[in-house]
Structure 1
């Protein structure tokens, strides 16, 4: 986020604080409870929301050197991304073209070829089959006929996007859309991956995104964790196409009242939530980045989700003091979100299944929630029409 944008948004937030206001939608919004409980809704989301667009899979810093790779199965498609010797990224379905074995697991670095652990077929970092094994057993078949199945991949301003469908195309202008310049200014391509946690929880995937889209609950649910840090009930929302930005000011933002505008640093005095539609959150937290990715746990798991949260820092820690600082941030993150939000969320899901009500009511004070769920409806409607 460049400094003129920080100044403009800071002015708005300071005015909100003085007037005790927040961003407001035009009307309340009724969201059908079945959007969290219906298997048909999940099928439509998988087809028209997830399967038809590129998904953010990580940050470039996780694949800093030739041979660095990561695998990802959260979308239901086994994805393999590797950086080749020219510095470019390649993405494939993580399936050997011989007997369908999984080629690589986890993340790491490979020197030379990617060798299937089942029968030893060998692939280059470009996905080209280099060796049929055992020799002499595949007469009439050439290596070029069994290259890895390629997926489209894009590295943009430090973010890695992969289209989960073979043949699917990535439009660089559309991935970040209206947020392109704003994300570019953060310089995430220079950030270092610190830690990742993966969770499986018993509630619909959209509940995870909902958790981050309002701060009215801080005063009740987060009294012992982040309430002392943030001003509850004040936030600035802006829809950015299908994406959105929500800024939650820290209590320290009042320091800006006594500073000249050229010294204003909104990034230090706020948490900034970017929802990259449909399922990724970039959460700027003053001096570091959290990346949240969430998916349904399976084709019939409407009430279960898979969650990945990663902490990315400006530079890899070089001292015990720096490591302790980032460890404390990770502990606070997990204590707040998993220890408080997600503990409550499992009861939300039970409430949705109880048939107590047909709709959830999103107030005018919850415009980000309204925007997110309208975007899901619109994506499904567009895919079906």
Structure 2
């Protein structure tokens, strides 16, 4: 969002605060709690949403220079993503053509611009071509041209990287992204600096976990001494962006804008912007930084969350490094001690096997969109309450 759009968003939220209103969906959504634990549905979700649907895996700044790379296998498919010599983004199965070992581990910069399998030192170019086979006489009938890494569909657009875990699939970036990238363009995510990432295992169904990122109705009850102490509860503005969405929430300080000339407004100081990249990626843009959460299912009852902090530039000195280190540790404690603590208790009810409905309120409009989009892909539209 650029300056005019940010200011317009702040004006909408000032009006919501004055009238004590929020964006509302047409009716409540009714879900069976069995949809959070059913093994058959879970298997379909992992296949259709995490194998056959493109995933937003992060901002472009994760791959600043040719040879930068990162890996992950949380979809059940080992994936390698890198920036090639022409500064394009490529993705491959992270599987050596020889005996199947990964050709890269973790993340970083590839020395010499080559991928090297740690098992037998077969090497590959950044374009995935097989470059070298030690002991070549042992493989006289192998054609190097046919033994490159298996490419995966990948795309980079508006500062975001997408990948599809299916080698035979196609990635329609326009359909997947909708207006999400254009809406986020003014934030300059591609120019930021990754400060740190932590991986958090959570005993909670991935959908139940992800719901907490899409509504501000719980701030006062669950976070009274943290985010609930600085933000309005149950007030937001919602914008649909293709299958994705944006939620904007006012901080208590937004009232200061009423006494400030509009030309001097700094909306990011007073508004939290939450962007959902379907199916399971969340960007949280505030003040001088943004946070990224990527949620992946482990099984029907367990998930893993990657939480990252991005800054507009590296810390200038030790004091600034210490400041952001404390901040990163604080937000990690909050989500573990508050959000994920509650999530694990929610999971106990799901695990009980007792059938009951889950009600998603009209004010939980982001949660409704998440389930609506999941239902669209699976061909299982959620049930809506009858409008009185």
TM-score range normalised by the length of the shorter chain: over 0.9
- 3-state SS, counterpart of residue 227 of structure 1: helix
8 Å Cα contact 1:30-1:362 kept in structure 2: yes
What is the CA distance between 1:329 and its match in structure 2?
A: 2.3
Separation in 2, partners of 1:325, 1:171: 41
User: Structure 1 residues 144 and 382, CA, compared in 2 at 3 Å: closer, same or farther?
Assistant: farther
Question: Which residue number corresponds to residue 56 of structure 1?
Answer: 56
Count how many residue pairs are aligned between Structure 1 and Structure 2.
380
8 Å Cα contact 1:225-1:332 kept in structure 2: no
Question: Which residue number corresponds to residue 381 of structure 1?
Answer: 379
Question: Which residue number corresponds to residue 274 of structure 1?
Answer: 275
Q: Where does 1:148-159 land on structure 2 (aligned, <5 Å)?
A: 148-159=149-160
What is the CA distance between 1:249 and its match in structure 2?
A: 0.9
Question: Which residue number corresponds to residue 146 of structure 1?
Answer: 147
Larger deviation: 196-205 or 179-188? 179-188
8 Å Cα contact 2:37-2:350 kept in structure 1: yes
- 3-state SS, counterpart of residue 351 of structure 1: helix
Question: Which residue number corresponds to residue 311 of structure 1?
Answer: 309
Separation in 1, partners of 2:287, 2:333: 18
User: Structure 1 residues 195 and 256, CA, compared in 2 at 3 Å: closer, same or farther?
Assistant: same
- 3-state SS, counterpart of residue 58 of structure 2: strand
Separation in 1, partners of 2:58, 2:366: 24
8 Å Cα contact 2:29-2:360 kept in structure 1: yes
Q: Where does 1:85-234 land on structure 2 (aligned, <5 Å)?
A: 85-112=85-112, 113-234=114-235
- 3-state SS, counterpart of residue 175 of structure 2: helix
Larger deviation: 309-318 or 221-230? 221-230
Larger deviation: 221-230 or 276-285? 221-230
What is the CA distance between 1:373 and its match in structure 2?
A: 0.7
Separation in 2, partners of 1:241, 1:172: 11
Question: Which residue number corresponds to residue 300 of structure 2?
Answer: 302
What is the CA distance between 1:356 and its match in structure 2?
A: 4.2
8 Å Cα contact 1:120-1:133 kept in structure 2: yes
Q: Where does 1:8-87 land on structure 2 (aligned, <5 Å)?
A: 8-87=8-87
What is the CA distance between 1:45 and its match in structure 2?
A: 1.1
User: Structure 1 residues 110 and 180, CA, compared in 2 at 3 Å: closer, same or farther?
Assistant: closer
Query: 5+ residue gaps in structure 2?
Result: 382-388
Q: Where does 1:286-301 land on structure 2 (aligned, <5 Å)?
A: 286-297=287-298, 301=299
Separation in 2, partners of 1:276, 1:58: 10
What is the CA distance between 1:101 and its match in structure 2?
A: 1.0
Aligned match for 1:360, one of 339, 346, 358: 358
8 Å Cα contact 1:283-1:291 kept in structure 2: yes
Question: Which residue number corresponds to residue 244 of structure 2?
Answer: 243
Separation in 1, partners of 2:131, 2:364: 55
- 3-state SS, counterpart of residue 288 of structure 2: coil
8 Å Cα contact 2:235-2:250 kept in structure 1: yes
Cα distance per residue 1:57-76 (max 9 Å; x no partner)? 22222221222111111111
8 Å Cα contact 2:180-2:242 kept in structure 1: no
What is the CA distance between 1:88 and its match in structure 2?
A: 2.0
What is the CA distance between 1:352 and its match in structure 2?
A: 1.4
Separation in 2, partners of 1:214, 1:382: 23
User: Structure 1 residues 59 and 240, CA, compared in 2 at 3 Å: closer, same or farther?
Assistant: closer
8 Å Cα contact 1:60-1:160 kept in structure 2: yes
Separation in 1, partners of 2:362, 2:60: 38
Separation in 1, partners of 2:210, 2:104: 30
User: Structure 1 residues 43 and 228, CA, compared in 2 at 3 Å: closer, same or farther?
Assistant: same
Cα distance per residue 1:80-104 (max 9 Å; x no partner)? 1122222222211000001111111
Separation in 2, partners of 1:172, 1:364: 30
Separation in 2, partners of 1:363, 1:160: 32
What is the CA distance between 1:216 and its match in structure 2?
A: 2.0
Separation in 1, partners of 2:122, 2:140: 15
What is the CA distance between 1:189 and its match in structure 2?
A: 1.0
Separation in 1, partners of 2:54, 2:367: 22
CA RMSD of aligned residues (A): 1.6
Separation in 1, partners of 2:354, 2:33: 10
Runs of 4+ in 1 over 4 A off after TM superposition: none
